[in-house]
Amino acid sequence: MDIEKIMIGLEKKHPGETEYLQAVHEVLESIEDVVNENPHFEAAGIVERIIEPDRVFTFKIPWIDDNGKVHVNIGYRVQFNNAIGPYKGGLRFHPSVNLSILKFLGFEQIFKNSLTTLPMGGGKGGSDFDPKGKSDTEIMRFCQSFMLELWHAIGPDTDVPAGDIGVGGKEIGYLYGTYKKLAREHTGVLTGKGINWGGSLIRPEATGFGTVYFAKEMLKTKGESLEGKLVAISGFGNVAWGAAQKATELGAKVVTISGPDGYIYDPDGISGDKIDFMLELRASNEDIVKPYSYEFPEAKFYQGKRPWEVKCDVALPCATQNELNKEDAASLVKNGVSFVAEGANMPCTPEAVEIFQENKILFGPGKAVNAGGVATSGLEMSQNSMKLNWPREEVDRRLHQIMIDIHDTCVKHGTDEDGYINYVKGANVAGFLKVANAMLDEGII
């Protein structure tokens, strides 16, 4: 396989789609050996076919604000690959959203969903709509307009969207209500639903919990546990709070959270009522973490800075893509970090990942580490199909086991000759093999 040639061709077709090209490049580097060892993959054009989405929907979303003013946003759904199950992946509402970002997320989702062991293909969607500062009725009207276009393209056995940045339980509710009205059916077409209308227990905290379950397994390979460890977390959204809660429960001390305005360092640990306050901050729709330092004076706020300058044993980037660069990685290494696990999707730049790996620091990539979110979405789909609800303990037990299994799969496919576990390689190879073999079985289509 000639990676350079494939990348040049892809860039020519999709100029400027930097995040998408970055994600593809990383996967190609990891799977180069298995593709070369399996000429039937090349003969069937598996790589060329897996790196292009099956189709992309783009649509206009007009909506009216509370003052009667008309706004127009752009909506997307990228249906990337359905070789092993219906397209599955979140919706992101954020002003930075563009096709490149959604294609990178949809591409990553193929391998992540494959790793979960559940039958789900890869997809992603969203809009450049900014939910920040919008009233509930504005968000509702926007979601209704979004679904008016999208509902034709999705279905419980076709494509099952969920949440991501800017899309939580509230938005899923409005989207679901609109779908139900248009399709005249009550099915598991979205995940992350409310518990009274088809949702699964544990789904809200699943990504954060899964992240920590995975990190726990990483520590175990070195004979260590989270007990007494200092943990730095970025972000303060859905993934960050679940991770903070579970890490604390397992005996670690979480010393940072962050928002776009800067980060909070709390030497006493962010736990209990402090996590509740973190959730209040997030619900305020203002997206700032500074008020935490007014509420808890022992905590310090660092304006415009990222948490990667603090001393910690474990770093969990849980905010957004490319939020941890090579300088941040060098600073973490200097301060003695031993484990880095990505709660967000692709938060570490390729240069940062290289620094961690060169220094033999165990590094878990998002597609493995944060797969607990979509895995629990898969469990929600199973419950919807069976028309029953599992208790909290049952969902948590399954989630935990799935994370242990993903970890073991990464170790199996990613352990180098010197014993270092290259989780990036392990996740990409294992995720790829299952999908590639399914594509082989299903023919060139």
**Partner from ligand 2IT, ligand NDP, none binding residue 191, C-beta < 5-8 Å depending on class:** ligand 2IT
Which residues does residue 74 pair with via DSSP β-bridges, in sequence order? Answer: 60
86, 90, 166, 210: which one binds ligand 2IT (CB under 6 A): 90
Residue sitting closest to ligand NDP (CB):
237
Rounded CA-CA distance 107/427 in Å is 13
12 is catalytic: no
Tokens 């199973």 belong to 382
Site track 365-384 with ligand NDP (rule: CB under 6 A), x = hit: -----x--x-----------
Bridge-based pairing state of the strands 253-259 and 230-234 = parallel
Question: Is 45 in contact with 444 (CB distance < 8 Å)?
Answer: yes
**Quick check: 97 binds ligand 2IT (CB under 6 A)?**
no
Here the tokens at position 183 are 């399709």
Q: 172 is in the binding site of which of ligand NDP, ligand 2IT, none (Cβ under 5 to 8 A by kind)?
A: none
Query: In terms of CB distance, is 218 or 436 closer to ligand NDP?
Result: 218
94 touches ligand NDP by CB under 6 A: yes
- The CA-CA-CA angle for residues 126, 81, 352, to 5°, reads 70
> DSSP class of residue 286?
S
Q: Which is nearer to ligand 2IT, 92 or 274 (CB)?
A: 92
| Residue 238 contact, options ligand NDP, ligand 2IT, none, Cβ 5-8 Å cut-off depending on partner type | ligand NDP
Segment interacting with ligand 2IT (CB under 6 A) among 88-96, 214-222, 399-407, 413-421: 88-96
CA torsion angle for 438, 440, 441, 444 (degrees, to 10)? 110
CA distance 87 to 312: 38
Catalytic pick among 88, 103, 112, 124: 124
Q: How far apart are CA 118 and CA 368, in angstroms?
A: 14
If one asks whether residue 373 binds ligand 2IT (CB under 6 A), the answer comes out as yes
Radius of gyration over alpha carbons of the chain, in Å? 21
- Name which of residues 174 to 193 contact ligand 2IT (CB under 6 A): 191
Of the residues 89, 173, 210, 343, which one makes contact with ligand 2IT according to CB under 6 A: 89
3-state secondary structure of 156: coil
Instruction: Write each residue from 236 to 275 as x if it is in contact with ligand NDP (CB under 6 A), else as -, in one continuous string.
Output: -xxxx-----------------xxx---------------
Residue type, 23: A
Strand partners, 71: 63
Q: Which parts of this chain interact with ligand NDP (CB under 6 A)?
A: 94, 132, 163-166, 207, 234-235, 237-240, 258-260, 287, 318-320, 323, 343-345, 370, 373
